[in-house]
Amino acid sequence: MVYLVATPIGNLKDITLRALETLKDADVIFCEDTRHTLKLLNAYEIKKPLYSCHKFNELEAAERIISLSKEGKNVAVVSDAGTPVVSDPGNALCKRLREAGENYTLLPGACAFVAGLVLSALDADRFAFIGFLPDKTSEKRLILERYKEVDLTLIFHCAPQDVDKNVATMYEVFGERKACAVREITKIHEESRSFMLSTGLDGEKRGEYVLVVEGAKQKENPLNSLSEIEHIRYYMSQGLDKKEALKKAAKDRGVSKSDLYKFSLDL
């Protein structure tokens, strides 16, 4: 069986009991960086054979993982921090496991972008996780343009050296918006700073960032400037019967049909 195990993103205590049990019971552990994972295992006195599974050898590692699992071995897979697959190696592995008909599961736990969204205090009802933006400005703009009109809170991962240029490009594409930069999540120097895209984030940039940006504002429907009666009459003039006109006007205004019903009585 293959177990994808979420690991701490900073504070080593942010690991589940189930994750520890799985790592202790694993026959082998595949990890992004053996030196990094060894620190976690040493903290909990876990000694297991470690093998690499990173973005440069993931397909090769996947074949070995499948082979070990078919032999009845318990295989744990971790990334350096957080949940495998999410901006980390693991996606190609999951696809190969599915193709090979080999069962796998996820032991959920820490995830930096979720923590960043919570700490940002921006709208969390609906959001889109974009992850890391490309290095080239042209490619960066191309991706941002896709989300320019989207009414969702947008979440990005960002290396410290990329913060200023990423925020500047966001302002060029999105225009003025509220944003929040979250860094050192779960660590001693955890910080969450709100700012406007136009002003950017001041100060020295240190540590990995989660950038959270508010979504596009919904454009006001020009028909909503009409009176309720005029709004309903407009749709009737387009050939709709009163019932359908009432329904469309209510949808435009974000109210229920019953709220507008009284305005349609004399039409």
pLDDT digit string, tens, across residues 203-234: 999 999 999 999 998 766 777 778 887 888 88
Secondary structure string (H, E, C) spanning the chain: CEEEECECCCCCCCCCHHHHHHHHHCCEEEECCHHHHHHHHHHCCCCCCEEECCCCCHHHHHHHHHHHHHCCCCEEEECCCECCCCCCCCHHHHHHHHHHCCCEEEECCCCHHHHHHHHHCCCCCCEEEEEECCCCHHHHHHHHHHCCCCCCEEEEEECHHHHHHHHHHHHHHHCCCEEEEEECCCCCCCEEEEEECCCCCCCCCCCCEEEEECCCCCCCCHHHHCCHHHHHHHHHHCCCCHHHHHHHHHHHHCCCHHHHHHHHCCC
Judge whether residue 106 has pLDDT over 90: yes
Asked whether the predicted pLDDT for residue 265 surpasses 80, the reply is no
Last residue in a domain, options 71, 94, 110: 110
Confidence (pLDDT) at 247: 84
Among 108, 143, 139, 142, CA closest to 129: 143
- Backbone dihedral angles phi then psi of residue 5, each to the nearest 5 degrees: -115, 120
Average pLDDT in the 99-123 region? Answer: 97
pLDDT digits (tens, 9 = 90+) for 126-181: 999 999 999 999 999 999 999 999 999 999 999 999 999 999 999 999 999 999 99
Q: Which residues constitute the domain of residue 37?
A: 2-110
Model pTM score: 0.81
Arithmetic mean of pLDDT, 65-76: 98
CB 42 within 8 A of CB 19: no
Domain holding 29: CATH number?
3.40.1010.10
Per-residue pLDDT at 143: 97
Are 36 and 120 contained in the same domain? no
Q: 202 and 121, same structural domain?
A: yes
* Domain shared by 158 and 248, yes or no: no
d(CA 81, CA 100): 27
Q: Are residues 8 and 63 in the same domain?
A: yes
Would you say 102 and 69 are in contact if contact means Cβ atoms under 8 Å apart?
Answer: yes
Residues 9 and 105 in one domain: yes
Query: 6 with 104, same domain?
Result: yes
Of 22-36, 41-55, 131-145, 224-238, minimum mean pLDDT range:
224-238
Asked which of 110, 143, 176 is the last residue of a domain, the reply is: 110
Same domain? For 145 and 102 the reply is: no
pLDDT at 210: 98
- In a shared domain, residues 90 and 158: no
Above 90 in pLDDT, residue 97?
A: yes
pLDDT of residue 248: 81
Q: What percent of the chain is predicted at pLDDT more than 70? A: 99
Q: Which residue has the higher pLDDT, 223 or 44?
A: 44
Mean pLDDT value across residues 229-253: 82
pLDDT for position 224: 76
Kindly state whether residues 130 and 50 are assigned to the same domain: no
The pLDDT of residue 85 is: 97
> How much is the pLDDT for 259?
84
Look at the chain and report how many structural domains it folds into.
3
pLDDT of amino acid 260: 77
Q: Which of residues 78, 110, 142 is at a domain's end?
A: 110
Q: Is residue 259 located within the same domain as residue 188? A: no
**Are residues 7 and 51 both part of a single domain?**
yes
Same domain flag for 121 and 209: yes
d(CA 116, CA 127): 12
CATH number for 169: 3.30.950.10
